[in-house]
Amino acid sequence: MKLASVRGGESERLVSFDDALRIVLAEAAHVGQQPTETVSLGDSLGRMLAVSVVADRDHPPFDRSTRDGFAVRVTDVMAQRWLSVVGQVQAGRQWEGSPLAVGQAIEVMTGAPVPPGADAVVMLEHVERNDSAIRLHKDRRLAAGENIVPCGSEAHAGNEVLAAGTEMDAATIALAAACGAAKVVVFVRPTVAIIATGDELVDIEETPGPEQIRNSNSYGLAALVERAGGKAVREPIAQDRQEVIEERIRGARTANLLLLSGGVSMGEYDLVEPVLQSLGAEFFFTGVKMQPGKPAVFGRLPEREGMHAMYFFGLPGNPVSTQVTFACFVEPLLRAMRGAPVEGPRFIQATLSEEIPGKPGLTRVLPARLTSTRQRPEVKLVVWQGSGDMAANARANCYAVLPEGTTGFRADDVVTVLLR
């Protein structure tokens, strides 16, 4: 691959949004796997399985009733004869009597084992009752196997039920618990070093001067990293001096991934790319045809002086640009680093609720609000004052993705939405 020129002309620096994402996903396919560790099932939420979970027995371990009703023989029920109710089986109990005989029914509860001899369960509300006998309502029908989950139909003992690379959520944790997996083997969370650059930045505990702002990007990025399954390490602010930026980068080389915010544009004090270049960085792209996020940089620092090779992103300093480029490019790579399958950002389709002019040369990824009042989700842009407008970004719950090459969008057009 021909590397993008560093600090070259505008046309040399920029790649399309689609190409930038393609480059990130190609690199994500080659990231090395993290070490593994064993954690309790209760602590596995959001972690990626490194070793599969197998069923320790058949699931279900018996023919299970899915309804409160009566275990019956279908031929008896469909003959419209009265059936004698000879007993009851609760969930957690087993039928101790003889197999169901002709002309009999046994009351069963949801989740209870179906007694031997029965081939269906008829629901309570579908029968007439007469003392200790039942009969199917005339307008009802019953088929063999109805309202019964057969033994082993969900999984047999020894079957893999959760594959390595599965993200643990409420559903997968519940399944692992059902298989007796009190502990699971997961990938160690990758560490992500975050360096905010700029002479204008002060720590959030400080009172900024008239020309200063608080370091919000480090905190916003740390939250995004943690939510994406990484372990965020906020490094000290790097002032706009080459030796300081280099010192901060060297101090962060023990991490698995490096994020820098600010200092990646074309100004006199935008020093991140030159410092990275002096450290032998390989650049995959040094700008993207998108708004916001145009100056975004992606590359890799080489193995050197006992330090491992390390991917890095240089993200624009404006807060909305920082968070947009994280969602588009950083999160897919970070997910792969934590053991997840290689996948792009979380996109859905939605209907625009308003007319929007286009910008033919840029893909725009704009703060928006997604609602679901119609059959198809609807999206509306949030009024904003540009990529430094943190208040507008906080009001948004997604980003509308408006591709380049389009002169405009009409209300009711279907567009791509980036979830966040």
- Both 214 and 310 in one domain: the answer is yes
Which residues are bridge partners to 38 per DSSP? 185
Give the model confidence (pLDDT) of 203-214 as tens digits: 999 999 999 999
Q: What is the pTM (predicted TM-score) of this model?
A: 0.88
- Both 73 and 27 in one domain: the answer is no
- Both 198 and 306 in one domain: the answer is yes
Residue 360 is predicted with a pLDDT of 83
- Both 163 and 287 in one domain: the answer is no
Which one, of 317, 391, 326, lies nearest residue 365 by Cα?
326
CATH number at residue 404: 2.40.340.10
Whether the predicted pLDDT of 4 surpasses 70: no
Q: Give the residue from 149, 178, 203 where a domain finishes.
A: 149
Q: What is the CA radius of gyration of the chain?
A: 30
Tell me whether residue 2 is in a domain: no
In angstroms, how far is CA 323 from the centroid of its own chain? 16
- Both 388 and 298 in one domain: the answer is no
Task: Decide the pairing of beta strands 83-89 and 104-108.
Answer: parallel
- Both 374 and 384 in one domain: the answer is yes
- Both 197 and 274 in one domain: the answer is yes
CATH number at residue 283: 3.40.980.10
Residue 269 is predicted with a pLDDT of 64
* pLDDT band (50, 70, 90) for residue 5: very low
Give the model confidence (pLDDT) of 217-248 as tens digits: 999 999 999 999 999 999 999 999 999 999 99
Residue 266 is predicted with a pLDDT of 72
Alpha helices in 15-155 (DSSP H): 17-28, 74-78
Whether the predicted pLDDT of 289 surpasses 80: yes
- Both 225 and 366 in one domain: the answer is no
Give the model confidence (pLDDT) of 349-370 as tens digits: 999 999 998 888 899 999 999 9
Print the domain residue range for 81: 64-149
Tell me whether residue 252 is in a domain: yes
Q: Angle at the Cα of 282 (from 281 to 287), degrees rounded to 5?
A: 100
Tell me whether residue 321 is in a domain: yes
Residue 260 near residue 312, CB atoms below 8 Å: yes
- Both 194 and 330 in one domain: the answer is yes
Average confidence (pLDDT) over 314-324? 96
CATH number at residue 141: 2.170.190.11
Residue 3 is predicted with a pLDDT of 38
Q: Structural domain tally of the chain?
A: 4
- Both 136 and 182 in one domain: the answer is no
Q: What is the C-alpha to C-alpha distance for residues 344 and 379, in angstroms, rounded to an integer?
A: 21
* Segment among 190-199, 232-241, 290-299, 371-380 with least mean pLDDT: 371-380
Residue 406 is predicted with a pLDDT of 84
Token digits of residue 381: 């842009």
Tell me whether residue 215 is in a domain: yes
Whether the predicted pLDDT of 407 surpasses 50: yes
Tell me whether residue 399 is in a domain: yes
CATH number at residue 175: 3.90.105.10
Tell me whether residue 89 is in a domain: yes
- Both 182 and 302 in one domain: the answer is no
- Both 266 and 306 in one domain: the answer is yes
Residue 372 is predicted with a pLDDT of 85
Residue 283 is predicted with a pLDDT of 97
Q: Give the residue from 337, 365, 386 where a domain finishes.
A: 337
Q: Give the residue from 269, 302, 337 where a domain finishes.
A: 337
Residue 304 is predicted with a pLDDT of 86
Average confidence (pLDDT) over 273-289? 96
Sign of CA dihedral 59, 63, 69, 74: positive
Tell me whether residue 406 is in a domain: yes
Whether the predicted pLDDT of 152 surpasses 80: yes
Q: What is the C-alpha to C-alpha distance for residues 314 and 298, in angstroms, rounded to an integer?
A: 6
Tell me whether residue 4 is in a domain: no
Residue 168 is predicted with a pLDDT of 98
